[in-house]
Structure 1
């Protein structure tokens, strides 16, 4: 079974070690990257992280959905959903 996902604290510690910087600098860099991705994808754009994948926003049309508890059908408005396509390099490194 897989390990637990890496927490933000663990990610910041690993990033600071990789960068050769202190944890405060690494945390600020991570927060900056997250902020940029959020702004770009939230505005309808896309962000490509080389070697990792592409994060983008896709619009879903209005549709009819069913409540599984009651069986009642209702109309769900159009909305947006965030998607991520994984890069081939990452897939190959995991499988190879």
Structure 2
């Protein structure tokens, strides 16, 4: 693995390079897409991106956890978490790339 992280700037750069819109327009496009995804998730709705995967919110119940350092029991409050489930197409693409 290379350890490289894909950033908003990288996405905007790729749009600028591949589509040919200005750097400012490509950055605005990336922001608009990410804002739309965020707003949809805030409403509690699922976001499905064909051939990529889906983002959804899950409610986790409260439970009793344990501090690994001290062994002390600690209550963990109920919370909502964001979960990503990759599509079968993405899984196959990753598996193919890793097997080379």
Q: Deviations over 1:40-70 (max 9, x none)?
A: 1122111011111001110000111111111
Cα distance in 1 for residues equivalent to 2:52 and 2:92: 11
Q: CA deviation at 1:2?
A: 2.7
Q: CA deviation at 1:8?
A: 2.1
Cα distance in 1 for residues equivalent to 2:7 and 2:39: 22
Other-structure match for 2:43: 43
After superposing the two structures, state which structure 1 stretch, 55-64 or 12-21, moved more: 12-21
Other-structure match for 2:9: 9
Unaligned runs of 5+ residues in structure 1 are: none
Normalising by structure 1, we get a TM-score of 0.90
Give the root-mean-square deviation of aligned CA atoms. 1.3
SS at match of 1:6: coil
Other-structure match for 1:30: 30
Cα distance in 1 for residues equivalent to 2:86 and 2:56: 11
4+ runs of 1 displaced by more than 6 Å?
Answer: none
Residues matched between the structures, number: 96
